[in-house]
Chains A and B, each alone.
Chain A
């Protein structure tokens, strides 16, 4: 096993694969690929090297499944949040969740993710309601209200996390600060399961009420006139947004979890003019970002998951913005020049003809 510590692991990886390919044939090759993948994922330490696929269901793989599901759901829910122009509400919910998380811990002394996230959900939703209440009572502008609620909640949350950190210094699980930027690797098996269930449930609900949410997002007046409970549907969407955001907290963190709701649909919008396709692409981008972020953070020492997930999503956004047909930058740069040239030619032609008329 000393081979693992010697030389560049990548060189070794390639050399080993070529060797095994030549020597043992396809079966051995496949087994080795699986082994190498588990190594790459950081699932397996050389000391407990186990060349069987069963190792794949270890901590990181499970976390990986969790973040992929989360990314997919965020992509689906986010599409409607984006189209309803409610994407920033997700950010408020995420920040308002932090005090609830801390209070849940202080009240119950429990470290179960279910308890903590329930607390988070309560204050998160309360934050969202505070927002709509302030809008009605103060009639301040939307951005002022968003900023106010978000920063008050976040300030309160940071103060509470610090207090907890100081009082429960040496206790495992009191590390609530990992919720701020997200650390998927610290999630327990049961945590991941609960988060995955919440994500799947939200995803299914979105797909079931797809038609209704589509109508609400496009034309709320028409939705009401047809007799749909538009306010109820709006609350449902808000609730789904809240659950998605809260489920994302352990992996992506308070500060960045809303980005997972905004960036994938914004990137997907470049590729298509169809809502169903936009949701599919958005879910795909969300899933890939979740996976890549988790894998990278597992490979990098002390690197939190949240920023890596968001950076992956942003990279995909930039690619979409640049390359997408019709709406992409490259496409339009070309087209707008041509259109400009055509318009200029048109103006010149009409000017000369009107001058000719004046002369005659």
Chain B
């Protein structure tokens, strides 16, 4: 995590501060990502994890700071960046089917007024195939389970064929099958040289699946390779006293119940 390694880091967040009602949600966040990889953003509730990626993408106003991707502003790099929002942010009763939702990923390259063509449909179907959802192409999106909805969102991001992905809690409330498919997909993306930043809540899967980890609690507590950064001291500093053995077990029980 040293900015001087590469002249143009993939993502460089410098001194970013975000406030709601003058209460800082993010404070002087500095984060530089130079190597392509799978990055987990972890931290307690209210730590500003979602806020961080929403601010980086320009979805919420920033009180101060600067964000660059490959040396340019995010606005200039929109085509190389994709985003998987939280599932709850859209109306799943919207009159649209799975294939049409995935096709929205091609709107950026289509530009004004042009409609998706047969080639775009084919690409969208391929991406649905990659998330194991091809047989649901004609379904209305509201008729899917939570995990299936999440995979549709993922396919929509894939069709954009970006180099940098931001994903907001893609594993929240999904079934085990979806979690496995998503992790396999993320690894394939990483292996093809993409960078994926994932807001993640399940500390138990960090070591197994991620390359780098960012501990966030209003400030960046620590960031770096999982092997050297995912250590008890950093966990303690990020979660404070709240992360006891009991809490971890309660979390495990809750997850078990959710997946049932």
By a beta-carbon cutoff of 8 Å, the part of chain A in contact with chain B is: 83, 208-209, 211-212, 214-215, 217-219, 221-222, 224-228, 269, 272-275, 278
Q: Are A218 and B59 in contact (CB under 8 A)?
A: no
Q: Are A212 and B112 in contact (CB under 8 A)?
A: yes
**Across the interface, which residues of B come within 8 angstroms of A274, CB to CB?**
95-97
Query: In the complex the two chains form, what is the Cα distance from A34 to B78 in whole Å?
Result: 60
Known: A211-B107, A215-B107. A221 touches B95 (CB 8 A): no
Q: Are A225 and B96 in contact (CB under 8 A)?
A: no
A281 to chain B, nearest CB (A): 11
Q: Knowing that A218-B96, A219-B90, A225-B83 are A-B contacts, what are 19 other residue pairs whose CB atoms are under 8 Å apart, sorted by A's residue number?
A: A211-B114, A211-B115, A214-B96, A215-B104, A215-B107, A219-B89, A219-B104, A221-B54, A221-B89, A222-B85, A222-B104, A225-B58, A227-B75, A228-B108, A273-B95, A274-B96, A275-B95, A275-B96, A275-B100
B70 to chain A, nearest CB (A): 16
Query: In the complex the two chains form, what is the Cα distance from A228 to B104 in whole Å?
Result: 12
Of B90, B100, B107, B115, most buried by chain A (CB within 10 Å of CB) is B107
Q: Are A225 and B57 in contact (CB under 8 A)?
A: yes
B110 to chain A, nearest CB (A): 8
Main secondary structure of the interface of B (DSSP, over half): mixed
> Is B35 close to A, CB under 8 A?
no
Closest 5 CB pairs of A and B: A227-B78, A273-B140, A226-B108, A225-B83, A275-B95
Query: In the complex the two chains form, what is the Cα distance from A214 to B90 in whole Å?
Result: 13
**Across the interface, which residues of A come within 8 angstroms of B107, CB to CB?**
211-212, 215, 226, 228
Q: Are B90 and A218 in contact (CB under 8 A)?
A: yes
**Across the interface, which residues of B come within 8 angstroms of A211, CB to CB?**
107, 110, 113-115
Q: Are A225 and B81 in contact (CB under 8 A)?
A: yes
Of B97, B101, B104, B156, most buried by chain A (CB within 10 Å of CB) is B104
Residue of A nearest to B166 (CB): A225
B55 to chain A, nearest CB (A): 12
Query: In the complex the two chains form, what is the Cα distance from A349 to B151 in whole Å?
Result: 33
Q: Are B95 and A278 in contact (CB under 8 A)?
A: yes
Query: In the complex the two chains form, what is the Cα distance from A303 to B191 in whole Å?
Result: 72
Interface size on B, residues (CB 8 A): 31
Residues 134-156 of B contacting A (Cβ, < 8 Å): 140, 156
Of A215, A222, A226, A275, most buried by chain B (CB within 10 Å of CB) is A222
Q: Are B94 and A218 in contact (CB under 8 A)?
A: yes
Would you give the 0/1 interface string for B164-200, flagging 1 where the beta carbon is closer than 8 Å to chain A? 0000000000000000000000000000000000000
For A225, give its contact among B82, B90, B95, B115 (CB under 8 Å).
Answer: B82
Query: In the complex the two chains form, what is the Cα distance from A226 to B110 in whole Å?
Result: 11
Known: A218-B90, A218-B96, A275-B96. A227 touches B108 (CB 8 A): yes
**Across the interface, which residues of A come within 8 angstroms of B160, CB to CB?**
226
For B94, give its contact among A83, A212, A224 (CB under 8 Å).
Answer: A83
Query: In the complex the two chains form, what is the Cα distance from A209 to B82 in whole Å?
Result: 23
Residue of A nearest to B142 (CB): A273
For A224, give its contact among B59, B110, B113, B156 (CB under 8 Å).
Answer: B59
Residues 98-135 of B contacting A (Cβ, < 8 Å): 100-101, 104, 107-108, 110, 112-115
A331 to chain B, nearest CB (A): 15
For A208, give its contact among B91, B94, B113 (CB under 8 Å).
Answer: B113
B102 to chain A, nearest CB (A): 12
Q: Are A222 and B95 in contact (CB under 8 A)?
A: no
